Structure 1
């Protein structure tokens, strides 16, 4: 005999673009995002007995997303994600959990003739803002994890790596000065929200938290004389927890983007290593991957 252990379904890659027009100010704001909705609950029979009566069609989920976007603000994405997730668990009695992922793309207002342009924008990086929301029925609340991904950073000095364990398998030399580059993937999880109105009351602080986490990441990366990626990312986590009382835990995943010196001494004794290094070969793989999760010790997060 067989039994169903896991069941969840939904609509992925719902592409959404919204223009907000401020007629009084004569400006427009644009937001582009990709939404994924996944539902779970009393849906087993759709798998085991071909009973589609329990299926909220994925097209319905898509159309609901568009309608909710028309009728409500979609910024900050945390509130829009919570609004969608809460809708599904409250509208359909047999749906007990809704997972909504929002990936917001970066559009930056153009500066033209020294002034912000009222309706023109540019994509200045591949960086994305990612939000994962899980709403449950029965008063279990709404959990929200926000984050930054694809934020590519590099500094040409101010990074070292030495004193690491060595054995017969170790070939890597120690270094007191190296190029440090990584593609930041960071996430922070808030204290569980009891209701949708509680999420909505926190709306302005979601953007403040995103800005603070991004600024802490960039400032720490740039200003610290880094002894290791491990220690640098831990300091980033500590600072975010200190800056935002509502955050329960912070995660980082930082791949090393290596730039190797090229020995050119074979050509007329040309010096290009150590203190003389100027020309490097960017590497694609293999690469180091460093991860950590840091949570509050003792006290709980506070909204």
Structure 2
């Protein structure tokens, strides 16, 4: 039987690049697939792997090139990846790369774009919830999956340590979450749409401009700001899963971690919830 064609590589190489060479950080989050073709027939037909570049090595190459070219535009970056394989491995005849970007937009604070705080493009799904009887009605508004991050001014320290603790403290980490929030109306605002926007704006301003010692404290301060901004709500409930961006260990490749390259992960995640009222 003839082997007609073949290719192999690594998919879903998720990498967040953070350019921190100025106070104004740039973020580019990519999901990369790299597929190689060339003199690999023997691996299929003979079980001879001597020419095969391990898919784990393909992932490592994407990661350390991300560190070396942290500020490169996506089109430039995929060209760099392709050139690396073609220049280094003579038996690689072709490289096919698909890189899809998760887009982030800067949070606006007092009319100006923030240096290191961002929201996800096309963000969140607003909802309305009503419980009605003939005697009463309870109306709530909210949003699900409202995603935002900041690249600095966040830490996690001085927590409980025992034999189960492996997480290392840090005073500077990337903080990201996909928030579910709802607020209960006690009055009727002049405009629900504008009031809902004011609630989110107030919370995001706190998130962007206040150092976060932990998700718990940041959530509480965001809730306080929302209540202060819109007097027609009685309480606000927030649920903020940690969207972890894990530092990539590039020390095997002679590169130190300096807060520039991360692996985005979805599970497991921390889940933090609270409700703040006027009490």
Shorter-normalised TM-score: what interval?
0.5 to 0.7
5+ residue gaps in structure 2?
1-120
Match of 1:131 among 114, 128, 133: 128
What TM-score do you get using the length of structure 2 for normalisation?
A: 0.54
Q: Which residue of 2 aligns with 1:183?
A: 178
5+ residue gaps in structure 1?
1-123, 194-201, 298-303
Q: Which residue of 2 aligns with 1:280?
A: 262
2-structure distance, mates of 1:159, 1:179: 7
Matches within 5 A, 1:94-243: 125-137=122-134, 140-191=135-186, 202=188, 204-243=190-229
Q: 1:128–1:148: 8 Å Cα contact kept in structure 2? A: yes
Q: Secondary structure at the match of 2:192?
A: helix
**Closer, same or farther: CA 126–245 of 1 in aligned 2, 3 Å:** closer
Q: 1:204: Cα distance to partner?
A: 3.0
Q: 2:189–2:195: 8 Å Cα contact kept in structure 1? A: no
CA RMSD in angstroms comes to 1.8
Q: Which residue of 2 aligns with 1:270?
A: 255
Q: 1:271: Cα distance to partner?
A: 1.2
1-structure distance, mates of 2:182, 2:193: 14
Q: 1:211: Cα distance to partner?
A: 1.3
1-structure distance, mates of 2:197, 2:240: 19
Q: 1:208: Cα distance to partner?
A: 2.7
2-structure distance, mates of 1:229, 1:283: 17
Runs of 4+ in 1 over 6 A off after TM superposition: none
What TM-score do you get using the length of structure 1 for normalisation?
A: 0.50
Matches within 5 A, 1:54-65: none
2-structure distance, mates of 1:125, 1:157: 23
1-structure distance, mates of 2:235, 2:259: 40
Q: 2:154–2:214: 8 Å Cα contact kept in structure 1? A: yes
Q: 1:176: Cα distance to partner?
A: 0.2
2-structure distance, mates of 1:164, 1:271: 26
Q: Secondary structure at the match of 1:234?
A: helix
Q: How many residues align?
A: 160
**Closer, same or farther: CA 185–159 of 1 in aligned 2, 3 Å:** same
Q: Alpha-carbon deviations, 1:126-184, whole Å to 9, x = none?
A: 421111011111xx221101112221111111101101111111111100000000112
Q: Alpha-carbon deviations, 1:198-239, whole Å to 9, x = none?
A: xxxx36332232011110121111111111110011011112
Matches within 5 A, 1:79-94: none
Q: 1:245: Cα distance to partner?
A: 2.2
Match of 1:259 among 229, 239, 245: 245
Q: Secondary structure at the match of 1:204?
A: coil
